Structure 1
């Protein structure tokens, strides 16, 4: 598989090699050693989540506070979606930078999202199913939302929404705080805390 860093540091795009024949195809979706060697991150899934969405459904932006933090390995197993990762780690040299990737079930491209980054997507087809491998299990009270249409972020959702389509969102996402409000409320991770977490996980893996 090919693993390349995105415009957002500590986020990576993973392109598997698809092996096809008359029966169909086969590919490796995730390989712990290959990801660790290419990224320097230690990622061991503790929970697997799936969500199914109608076309034009927008989920995000979502993050998990540190501690505990949560890294995600995201793939589209049915349909297609526009996936967006944003660096909102306070003090990061790339604070506010985003990158986007079209994920679909045919290409099987995946995105690795390190702890401290925020993530969202918009479904481009009905019955789109996304899979999340998560490094930590759900801890109530640690997840937070950022307003995905905050003008300060200027994210490219319009690329994926159908012509004349109406974006579907949860009430929680619609009412999420702006970037400035989230920073004032202390919701955002500090870059130095993220780096310390990455280093601790590497040390635990090496021990």
Structure 2
């Protein structure tokens, strides 16, 4: 397994080693000891899965606030996505900056999105299935977001991104500059 860092401290792209032959392949999708060495002490408590039927479906940008903040380990089980993590840690030199990784069912790569980051994605293929492990349980009271196309963040979304696919909740998320201080660099 290879752990690739970005120019923002925290998120990691995880690229598994694929062992294949004429029958197909075998891959470790998660290995706790390797993950902890790269990402720190993390415990996953819930796993979620979504299906997006249409190319260009946008989900996010979502996060949960303390004490229910979540780290997410995101994997594309079928299809492909452009996965996005946005730094929401006040005091961070990369506050409001973002990273992306194209996650596909062929590459089997994953994106680690630590607590303190917003997360979202856009589907690149039809009938895309995304699975993600989270470090805290879903909490409606702590469920927050930031507008997917906030010009202060200026994410470069793929051309297929379709605002018509947004949920009602995601259409009215606040701008980055209107968010209270939910996270700080220290924790």
Give the TM-score normalised by the residue count of structure 1: 0.86
Matched, 1:100 2:94: no
Look up the match of 2:177. Answer: 180
Instruction: Provide runs of 4+ in structure 1 moved above 2 Å.
Output: none
Look up the match of 1:201. Answer: none
Q: How far, CA to CA, are the matches of 2:99 and 2:70 in structure 1?
A: 19
Contact in 1 for aligned 2:58/2:163 (Cα 8 Å): no
| Shift, 1:7, TM fit | 2.2
| Shift, 1:38, TM fit | 2.0
Matched, 1:28 2:28: yes
Look up the match of 1:77. Answer: 77
Q: How far, CA to CA, are the matches of 2:4 and 2:96 in structure 1?
A: 20
| Shift, 1:124, TM fit | 0.7
Look up the match of 2:88. Answer: 88
SS in 2 for 1:141: helix
Mark the structure with the bigger radius of gyration: 1
Q: How far, CA to CA, are the matches of 2:156 and 2:164 in structure 1?
A: 13
Unaligned runs of 5+ in 2: none
| Shift, 1:69, TM fit | 1.3
Residues 97-117 of structure 1 show CA distances to partners (whole Å, capped at 9, x for unaligned) of 211110000000101111111
Look up the match of 1:203. Answer: none
Q: How far, CA to CA, are the matches of 1:2 and 1:87 in structure 2?
A: 23
Name the structure where strand makes up a greater proportion of residues: 2
> What is the correspondence of 1:81-160 to structure 2 with a 5 Å cutoff?
81-157=81-157, 159-160=158-159
Residues 61-83 of structure 1 show CA distances to partners (whole Å, capped at 9, x for unaligned) of 00110212111100000000100
Q: How far, CA to CA, are the matches of 1:169 and 1:62 in structure 2?
A: 12
Q: How far, CA to CA, are the matches of 1:137 and 1:61 in structure 2?
A: 18
| Shift, 1:161, TM fit | 1.4
SS in 2 for 1:9: coil
Matched, 1:189 2:186: no
Look up the match of 1:49. Answer: 48
Q: How many residues in Structure 1 have an aligned counterpart in Structure 2?
A: 186
